[in-house]
Amino acid sequence: MLEDLLLRRNLIDAGCDDRQIKEFLKLNAYGMVNAQINFLKEQRRHLLECLHFRQNQIDCLDFLIGSLQKSC
């Protein structure tokens, strides 16, 4: 039970929602390690996509800031 609580906390910290957490804990209960690894890799891929999207937004803001500063 403690292991499930620690896994749940870590998955929450990694950005997983309730559905994902239930799915992962089910895989854990059945000892499906390869499926767990694939699950975690997919979550990592998703987070990287979000990061790249936000980085692009920041780059756009930096461009606008730079343009405005040059025009002053």
Place of tokens 């910290």: 13
How much is the average pLDDT of 15-32?
97
pLDDT tens digit sequence for 30-65: 999 999 999 999 999 999 999 999 999 999 999 999
Confidence (pTM): 0.84
User: What pLDDT band is residue 2 in, cutting at 50, 70 and 90?
Assistant: low
Q: Euclidean distance between the first and final Cα of the chain, in Å?
A: 62
pLDDT of residue 1 exceeding 80: no
Computed over every residue of the chain, the mean pLDDT equals: 96
